[in-house]
A = this chain, B = another copy of it.
Amino acid sequence: MQKNIEFIDKLRSSGLRPTKQRLKICEVLFNREETFHFTIKDLVKKISDNLNEKISLATVYNTVHAFKDKGYLKEISINSDKSYFDTNITNHHHFFDEDTNQLIDCEDDYIENINIKKNITGKKINSVEVLIKVASDNQNQN
Contact = CB atoms under 8 A, between A and B. Distances in A.
Given A78-B77, A116-B110, A120-B104, A125 B136 contact: no
Contacts of A134: 119-120, 123-126
A111 B115 contact: yes
A95 interface: yes
A107 B119 CA distance: 10
B109 A122 contact: no
B122 A111 contact: no
Contacts of A118: 107, 109-110
Contacts of A95: 119-120, 123
A29 to B, nearest CB: 19
Contacts of A69: none
A84 to B, nearest CB: 9
Contact of A122 (B80, B110, B115, B136): B136
A106 to B, nearest CB: 8
A130 interface: yes
B110 A123 contact: no
A45 interface: no
12 contacts: A75-B79, A77-B77, A77-B80, A79-B83, A81-B83, A104-B120, A120-B134, A122-B137, A124-B137, A128-B131, A128-B133, A130-B131
